Amino acid sequence: MRKRKSSSGAPEPRLRLAFQRRLLSWYRRHRRDLPWRKTTDPYKILVSEIMLQQTQVDRVVPKYHEFLSRYPTFEALAGASVREVTKTWYPLGYNIRPVRLHSIACETVERYGGRLPEEPEQLQQFKGIGRYTAGAVATFAYGKAAPILDTNVARVLHRIFIKRGDAKKQRARLWTLSEQLIPANDAYDFNQGLMDFGAMVCTARQPGCPTCPMKRLCKSYPLSYSMAAGPVRHRTNRRGKISRARSSGR
Ligand code: SF4
């Protein structure tokens, strides 16, 4: 498929539609069975998103269940002490997260009667909720077509639609792309699909290009292992020998 942009700079409609269809079709066959996908409770979605900010899925799952059985609602969390909440959070680490989660719970109870606001702009007013988390909560709890962009999603969109330059330096452009691509009627599956696709197919170090459903659309196809892993640098060790080292992929 030829890749063109519309005059607005957005991917042309045919490419956008093909990407949406392929992603949704792939996601519906391969999606991961994760507990926070069985609920639309804004509180549970928020807890999962904050846990997932710095921690791998397999470590989050048991703690997610434990945390919710101890604090099943915003009210229950707001009623606990920060010290106790931080203790329950152990061993996930990055302990600013339970502190912020507790503060969000208190604010939600005090200012919003225990119901988290729906709009991403309002959600971003809370300390500890950035644009990504606001988009994820708005989509997964309230069904809104709000864009998301984490490391995985940025990598996928950059490889497929941009290719050139460093994804980390193109955040604004990638946010716009994420916004332009999201289908109004399928935002939930689309955003979950973007994340699963980045975690399972278009991974940082070993992208599955040969069998990838996006390969006919993707500007980076076929991506070699060395390109995926990052630029190869040459390093001289203490004995004067030259070795190759890769920059980190994530
Ligand atoms: S073809 Fe390769 S680089 Fe492109 S989206 Fe698929 S896995 Fe990623």
Contact 174 CB / ligand 1 (< 6 Å): no
Range of the domain at 82: 41-140
Residue 11 Cα to ligand 1 midpoint, Å, equals: 17
Global pTM? Answer: 0.88
Residue 230 Cα to ligand 1 midpoint, Å, equals: 15
Amino acid at 128: G
How many angstroms separate the CA atoms of 37 and 20, rounded?
A: 20
User: Has 49 been annotated as catalytic?
Assistant: yes
- For residue 116, being part of any structural domain is answered with yes
CA 77-132-61 angle, 5° bins? 50
Instruction: Give, using CA atoms, the residue closest to atom 8 of ligand 1.
Output: 202
Reduced to 3 states, what is the DSSP secondary structure of residue 160?
Answer: helix
Q: How many domains does the chain contain in total?
A: 2
Annotated active-site residue in 12, 49, 110, 119: 49
Q: What is the pLDDT along the chain (250 residues), one digit of tens a residue?
A: 554 566 567 899 999 999 999 999 999 999 999 999 999 999 999 999 999 998 999 999 999 999 999 999 999 999 999 999 999 999 999 999 999 999 999 999 999 999 999 999 999 999 999 999 999 999 999 999 999 999 999 999 999 999 999 999 999 999 999 999 999 999 999 999 999 999 999 999 999 999 999 999 999 999 976 666 554 333 434 333 333 333 332 2
Are 135 and 115 in the same domain? yes
Which residue, 140, 157, 185, sits at the end of a domain?
Answer: 140
CB atoms within 10 A of CB 109: 18
Contact 201 CB / ligand 1 (< 6 Å): yes
* CATH at residue 89: 1.10.340.30
The residue behind tokens 């010290």 is 83
Which residue, 108, 140, 172, sits at the end of a domain?
Answer: 140
* CATH at residue 187: 1.10.1670.10
Contact 105 CB / ligand 1 (< 6 Å): no
Which residue, 89, 115, 140, sits at the end of a domain?
Answer: 140
Are 98 and 134 in the same domain? yes
The residue behind tokens 């020998």 is 241
Are 126 and 203 in the same domain? no
Locate 248 and state its tokens: 């980190």
Are 119 and 61 in the same domain? yes
